[in-house]
Amino acid sequence: MKDKTKRKLVPWLFLTPFLVLFIIFMAYPTIYSIVISFTNFRAGKFNFVGWANFKFVFNDATFLKAVGNTFILMLIQVPIQTFLCVVLANFLNIARLKLKGMFRMLSFTPVLIDAVSYSIVFSLFFSNDPASLANTALGLFGVQPVEWVNMVWPARILLVIAVTWRWTGYNSIIILGGLQNISHDLYEAAELDGAGPVKQFFAITIPSIKPVILFSVVLSVTGTLQLFTEPNLITSGGPVNSTLTIVQYLYNTGFKAFSYGVASAGAYVLAIMIAILTFIQMRVTKEKD
């Protein structure tokens, strides 16, 4: 074999393991799911039905309800989490903060906890029992026990609290990385010009970390759109489907009702939603810059 041929084959030799795994676990399942989205599974066979599954999804009241629920959770949870992330990141970035490493580790710890485990713990803390931890704490302020899982808005608030608790520390570490890249000379110059801490925060800090905040928001939006474990284990999608999310709907449709075609079609509708929202966020931010 000639040296020139060997030089051409060697890179492909190193890429082969990745390409094999990619084809088996990524390319093939993706293509197969696209094919399934245009079929209907009956009597052990997949029958081609064209766009019928997509039409069913867009006309299914339960799916539309799941989309509405997911967007409600996203519009409430993402702004709250982003605000808390910025506050926490600035706290962790204080130069004179003692035990800085410990605080950073503790803020990141929630994301290391298994989603199933922490969801079960939250369901116990916020159970309908008047003696639950959440109701006991509310009782200290004279508030009557809340049936968290049996009422629409308490159930939604519970999910917002759970998701925010888990992901705030993770995103704050991302924003902290952006804060540490800001030159201290900017703050010194602003201080010499008479700018106070508040003015420095809005004139220097926020504009400097805007791309990092955008990245954090994109992660939070896509994560909320794919929310499954928390509503499935904490509220079971109730009451009356008020916390049913898109992915939970897809799970129920595909693995409980065995409507694989409809579930696959819904999954690609969700993928398109995520792509559109991400594009809009990137576009809007670019135009503002």
pLDDT of residue 146: 92
Segment 52-77 shows an average pLDDT of 94
d(CA 146, CA 137): 11
Let me know: does 9 contact 230? Beta carbons within 8 Å.
no
- Mean per-residue pLDDT of the chain: 89
- Each as own residue / partner, the long-range contacts of residues 210-217 (CB below 8 Å, 24 or more positions apart, any chain) are 210/285, 210/289, 211/178, 211/285, 212/174, 212/175, 212/177, 212/178, 213/82, 213/86, 213/175, 213/178, 214/281, 214/282, 214/285, 215/174, 216/82, 216/85, 216/171, 216/174, 216/175, 217/78, 217/82, 217/281
pLDDT digits (tens, 9 = 90+) for 97-131: 888 889 989 999 999 998 999 999 999 999 999 98
35: nearest Cα among 43, 44, 23, 27: 27
Per DSSP, the three-state class of 126 is coil
The 10s digit of each residue's pLDDT in 36-54 is 999 887 766 788 888 999 9
Angle made by CA atoms 166, 169, 175, in degrees to the nearest 5: 135
- 100's CB contacts (< 8 A; 6+ apart) are 92, 94
Share of the chain above pLDDT 90, in %: 57
Q: Where are the domains of the chain?
A: 74-114+153-261
Which tokens hold the place of 20? 């094999």
- Size (the chain), residues: 289
State the Cα–Cα distance between residues 62 and 25, nearest whole angstrom.
31
Q: What share of the chain is helix, strand, coil (3-state, %, to 5)?
A: 75, 5, 20
Q: Which residues pair with 39 in a beta bridge?
A: 48
The closest of 228, 180, 179 to 207, measured between CA atoms, is 179
Could you tell me the CATH superfamily of domain 74-114+153-261? MetI-like (1.10.3720.10)
- Map residue 150 onto helix, strand or coil: coil
Q: State residue 280's pLDDT score.
A: 85
For the stretch 174-205, pLDDT in tens is: 999 899 888 888 888 888 888 888 888 888 88
Which phi and psi (to 5°) does residue 47 adopt? -110, 130
